[in-house]
Structure formats: C-alpha cells, structure tokens
Structure 1
Amino acid sequence: MAESDSSAGTVNIPALRTWMHEARPDGLAGPLTARLIAGGRSNPTYEVSDGTHHWILRRPPYGEVLKSAHDMSREARVMGALAGSAVPVPHVVGLCRDPAVLGAEFYVMDKLVGRTLRTAEDTRSLTPDQRGRLTDTMIRTLVALHEIDPADVGLEDWGRPQGYLERQLNRWERQWHAIKTSERPRVDEVIGMLRRSMPETTLPGIVHGDYKIDNLLVAHEDPTQILGVLDWEMSTLGDTLADLGMLISFWDEVGTFHNPITAGATALEGFPTANEVVRKYADLRNISIHSLDWYIIFADLKLAVILEQIHARHLAGTTVGDWYDDIGGMVAPILDRAHDRAFRSGL
C-alpha cells in the first residue's frame, strides 16, 4: 500500500513520515495516510495513521496568518503541562517548529476515541439526564483548570494575568482592523464600551481561551465523561472569568438567540440555564460573581473577529475543506448580540 494524502497539496507525507520516525522511537507500523477532518475551521486538523496507530495533526491556517495568532506551540506546551492533572488532555507526541517540514509549525497528538457534540442534532442523542450530568462535568473540569497553580505544572511563565483584559481587547481590536472584509461600526462601538467599563482581574489562573461544548471530546459509551479538552491555542495566564464568559456566550437556551457556532446545541431539555451554569461554577469555586456581562460581551466580540478572520481566508481561497461558505454570515448576528447586551447592561 503506497503512502497517500487524501487532501492533496496540504500534507507532505514523505516529510511527515521522516519527522514521525524521529518523534516516535518505536517507529511506524506501515505507510502513512493523512485525512482532513471537520471541526478545525480555524486550524486545519488531520487524522494521521500508519494503519495501526492513529494521531491528530494540527497546523496553522494556510495563507497569511496574523502575528501571534494560531500558535501551535502553545497548544502543545499547555497539554503537555496538564498531562496527569484533573483536566483531561490528549498525549502530545511531538511539536515541529521547523516550517520546512510542512510549511508551518505543527504538532501531533494521540487520537482519543470519542465523540464531539457540535450541534443540536448531536446533543439530541443524549438523554435529558445525560445532558445535565455532562454539564456538571463540564463545569467541574473548568473549575479544576482554574484552580490549578500554574507553578505546579510548569506554567508560571505562561502569561501575565495583570493587564490581561486590556491586552486582549487591544489585540482583538488590532486583528479586526487588520482583516476586516467590510466596515462594521458596531465593532468600534462595542470595543469602546468594553474599554470604558473594564473590570479588574481578581481571579487569575490558567485560561483555556475557547472553552465550549464542541471543544470537548466525550466517551461514546458514556457521553457524560470528558476524555479530553481540546483547542488550547489561545491558552495563557489571565482572568479565569474570561473562560466562563466564553462558555456562556456559547450556552444556547430555548427561545433566545443561538450562537451561530453551536446553533442550539444546549437548548434542549436537561441542560441547565446559563444562570444555573454560572451559579454552579461560583458555588464550586466559593466565589461571588458580579457583572459577568462584560466577559460575555467580550467573548462575542472575540468570536466575531475569529469568524471574520476565517471568512477573509475563505475569500482569499486559502481555507481547506467545504464547510466555510456560511462563515461570513455569522459575523453580523454575533456582533449585534454583543452590541445589544452592552447597551442593556449599561456598559
């Protein structure tokens, strides 16, 4: 059987095979194949196999990538650091920093055998009891992450919590103006309201950066069990409430606007309300949470910029896969929600 690449022009199989031989002292069982898999809209993601073993390869997008974005080394390092902790993560096989191998840095991790719950169709397969217990596991896992002392896992230099929110807001503002495909005045309006009402960081810790239901891999036989937390590229030391705001941004409820990414995935019987999720998180951490709206609005803004980045790459013809046609239409609705919430909150 000859080595192959089912996504021609995207993975240099001979170069990858050479690198894999170096990364895995036990060698490879047979010819390599690489298959583009759905889900990695921001970062192309491939399943790699030698016929016996299966891995996941993650790399930055093709085409122009903004500085500091899509840092594969961050994903690889934080998952390596969290291995064996209360936060389940895949085993990282290795990180390749040499762009000469595949055209950009990339990393390879073991493939976990589980399922991802991306849509309402996926979560509809769970019973109401399973939905409730999965939510409890999700919240407990997030709390476990936020209560890890970074120094205990070698991440004391992972970032600077003080000033995190200001740096983040400045970063996403710069990225919007660097990649926008059309003028959207609401972006600057929302940024202005967020800047004038920025809270002080009082709960520093390890931040995932994109914690939501479809970035979790759950067990086939027990979908309330989380096998791995995925997509760590935006992880850093920062304000842990930013993760809670992101989770709530994606927490769809019956009768409300649904985040265009999750599209109603949690708007089903058994899933608690967003307010109940926040209360459970606060109770587990024994903290009081006031004015979470700032963090939710910031999460919506951040998502709008990410969607615009992907849309811009799609227009430039540098995306791979066939699931990008709807991306551009997601930007305005999420911006509108952020704008409306900001006004209702009096930011």
Structure 2
Amino acid sequence: MDSRLGRGYSVDGGGQHWVLHRAVDDHDGIETELAVQAALGGAAVVPVPEIVQRNTGPSRYYLARRVAGTVLRTDIELDTVPEHLRNALGYQFVDSLVSVHGVDLDATGLDRLCADEASLDVHLAQVHKNLERAGITARPDLQELFDSLAATIPRPGRSVLRHGDYQLRNIVWQLSDVVRVSAVLDWRHATVGDPLVDLGIAQVFWSGLHGVRNQLFGCPSAHRGYPSFEQLVERYSERSGLRIGSTEMSWYYAFGFLVVAARICGSGRTSPPSGRVGRMGVEAVITPLVTRGIAALEGNILSTASCR
C-alpha cells in the first residue's frame, strides 16, 4: 500500500515499512541526499535511514527503510510533547547538529562535496536569484537587506558538512523516558561550508516564526518548556568548541530568514506554491521574514525568548 509521506511515499508490505523518494526535477538534490545518507549510514556518527535500493539512472529514486518514531512539524504536534521532555529535546536537537558538523569528511568520502562548496557571497547571490524569479526582490526593504548582507559577509571559517535545512521537522525522535534522535532526514540541501549557516536557518524555525500564522511550521519558542534559541547557541558553542558572538550571529540570522523566504517561494520556481504555507498565502509569511531579517542584521532578535 502506498501513501504520500512528506517528500516521499510510504510503502508497506509483509510487515516491512519503507519510504520511496523519487526525483521531482533536475534541481531537487536527490543525488546529494542519496550520497550523504549512504556515507553517513556507514559511518554511524549521525543516524540516517538505511537505504535498501537506489537508482541513479533516468528515473532517479531510492528506497529507504522507514525509521519508527515521532516527527514534530506543527504547533499541535509540538504541544503533545510532555513538558518535562522539552528541555532535553532542545539540547538533543543542537547536540545532533554538532555531530553533523563534526563528521570526518575524508573518512566518509564526503570530501567530494568540497568541489561544490559555494562561498557565502555566491550563496547569497543564489538566494537573491531565487527570490527574483518569484517576483519578490522588487521590494525596497528586501533589496536593502541584500545590499547590507553583501557588504558585511563574514570572513571564511572552517568548512564542515552542512545539513542545509536543519529544523525539527527533519528529525525522527524517540520520546520515552530518554529523548533520543533516531534519524536526521532530508539531506537534499547538504553541502560543505560554514557551520553557522545551519544555525541561522535553524533559528528561523525554532523562534523566528514566532507569531507568524501558517499551517506548516511549528515554532518551539511559542511553547512552554522548550529552551530559547540563545540557550541552544550557547550549548552549540560549548559542545563544538566554536566561540560564537552575538554580533557575528546577526548576519547568519538575517541570512537564514532570506534562505527560508526563498524556499517558501518555491526555490526559484515560477509559480510560488502558496499552499505550502497555508491559507494565508506566501506574502503573509514572506513579509515578516523580510522584516525580521532586517531587524536581525541590526542585532534585534527579540523572538529568541522561550515561552516559560
């Protein structure tokens, strides 16, 4: 029996459960996702679904064993997590990201991604191009944000395996007496590059959408008991050994808002899929993302506070 499940199809039979992922277009990143998951599956450093079959020919698909557990996508689902587990869940969330960034690229063979590593200025230009195709960049405030980001790009730091879309909906959890990450999903945006880009994107989904009405993305900071994102950054700094200043993170927070805005607009597709963000439509989400991106670059991240 087949049923639609996120980016893939759930396939059940004979007591076995799989997820079939098929290529949507030439830019869906399925080859990258397949390569990263295959490499990490052998390394056993970051848990990923087991790939049981693949086809890199014209049809481009792979079949992975479905991981049992809980995925937290919406505010309703976030609210079902027992309150005494929420703090631990937040710290496991960031500890898992530290593990991703600590993957040995040479040992796993993922050093091949270094050939496609894009600098922050190139990445910024790609985001601008995607928003331009969606007809968003005509807004003066958005162009102002792009110009400010381009003029203040941080110096290159260490290069790590970067997930590219690190958020709660891309993690399978075991929620019992001990909170545990069972698998990290959706590696189609994975690359090698600056690790703080992942933190910037994660902030948007953890706290940056607080108060923005939509039917797709839950916001942990809107719920009692989850750590603030400032606490998660402190945890990341402690576990990774990377010193992170608030001024430094302002750039990455602002960039994260733009990256998410571009993806909501359809990653460059000509017809922005408004259904992805609920009945309020694309504009209702893009407007606060741009506004908060500008505020972030000015060092104003009020939405990192957790609801206590």
Q: In 1, Cα distance between the equivalents of 2:267 and 2:281? A: 7
C-alpha spacing 1:92/1:184, structure 2 compared with 1 (3 Å)? farther
Superposed CA offset, 1:218-240 (max 9, x none): 12545721110011100011001
Asked if 1 retains the 8 angstrom alpha-carbon contact of 2:131 and 2:137, the reply is no
Partner of residue 235, structure 2: 280
Gapped runs of 5+ residues in structure 2? 301-308
Deviation (angstroms), 1:274: 1.2
How far the C-alpha of 1:95 sits from its partner, in A, is: 2.8
Name the amino acid aligned to 2:182: L
Partner of 1:225: 180
Q: Tell me whether 1:49 sits opposite 2:6 in the alignment.
A: no
Structure index of larger Rg: 1
1:140-159 paired onto structure 2 within 5 Å: 140-159=95-114
User: Quick check: 1:59 aligned with 2:14?
Assistant: no
Letter in 1 for 2:33: E
Distance in 2 (alpha carbons) for counterparts of 1:176 and 1:165: 17
Name the residue aligned to 1:98. Answer: 57
Q: Secondary structure, in 3 states, of the residue corresponding to 2:10?
A: strand
1:36–1:78 distance in 2 versus 1, CA, 3 Å: same
Mapped partners of 1:337, 1:322: distance in 2: 20
1:308 aligned to which of 262, 265, 269? 265
Contact 2:172 2:184 in 1 (8 A): yes
Q: Deviations over 1:157-183 (max 9, x none)?
A: 113587521221111112222233784
CA distance in 2, matches of 1:201, 1:85: 29
Report the CA distance shift for 1:178/1:222 in structure 2 as closer, same or farther (over 3 A): farther
Question: Which structure would you say has the larger RCO, counting Cα contacts within 8 Å and 6 or more residues apart?
Answer: 2
With normalisation by structure 1, the TM-score equals 0.76
Q: Mark the CA change 1:223 to 1:314 in structure 2 (over 3 Å): closer, same or farther.
A: farther
Q: Give me the whole-angstrom Cα distance separating, in 1, the residues matched to 2:191 and 2:223.
A: 32
CA distance in 1, matches of 2:84, 2:208: 17
Shift of 1:312: 5.6
User: 1:232-311 maps to which residues of 2 (within 5 A)?
Assistant: 232-252=187-207, 257-258=211-212, 260=214, 261-290=216-245, 291-309=248-266
What is the total number of aligned residue pairs between the two structures? Answer: 295
Letter in 2 for 1:147: G
Structure 1 distance, partners of 2:140, 2:22, is: 33
Residues 115, 219 of structure 1: 8 Å contact kept: yes
Secondary structure of the structure 1 residue equivalent to 2:222: coil
Tell me how far apart the structure 1 counterparts of residues 299 and 137 of structure 2 sit (CA, whole Å). 26
Please say if residues 47 and 54 of structure 1, whose CA atoms lie closer than 8 Å, have aligned partners that are also in contact: yes
Cα drift, residue 50 of structure 1: 3.0
CA-to-partner distance for each residue in 1:286-328, whole Å, 9 max, x for gaps?
Answer: 2211210111111110110111117967668xx9x99754451
Equivalent pair of 1:218/1:226 in contact (CA under 8 Å): yes
- Is contact 1:245-1:296 (8 Å) kept? yes
Give me the CA root mean square deviation.
2.8
The residue type equivalent to 2:199 in the other structure is L
1: CA distance, partners of 2:243 / 2:196 = 11
Q: Does 1:34 align with 2:16?
A: no
Cα contact 1:217–1:227 (8 A) shared by 2: yes
Residue 30 (structure 2) pairs with residue 72 (structure 1):
yes
Q: Which residue identity does 2:15 align to in structure 1?
A: T
Alignment partners' CA distance in 2, 1:263 and 1:231: 17
Percent identical among aligned pairs is 24
Question: Shift in Å at residue 201 of structure 1?
Answer: 2.2
Task: Using the TM superposition, give the Cα deviation of residue 268 of structure 1 relative to its aligned residue in structure 2, in angstroms.
Answer: 2.0
Amino acid in structure 2 at the alignment position of 1:130: L
Structure 1 counterpart of 2:303: none
How is 1:119-158 mapped onto 2 (pairs within 5 angstroms)? 119-158=74-113
- Go from structure 1 to structure 2 and tell me whether the alpha carbon gap of 1:271 and 1:55 turns closer, same or farther (over 3 Å shift): same
Contact 1:245–1:295, Cα closer than 8 Å, also in 2: yes
In the TM superposition, residue 145 of structure 1 has moved relative to its aligned partner by: 1.3
**How far, CA to CA, are the matches of 2:208 and 2:113 in structure 1?**
34
Q: Give the aligned residue type for 1:35.
A: S
Q: Distance in 2 between matches of 1:297 and 1:323?
A: 20
Letter in 2 for 1:201: P
TM-score (structure 2 length as normaliser): 0.85
- What SS is found at the alignment partner of 2:18? strand
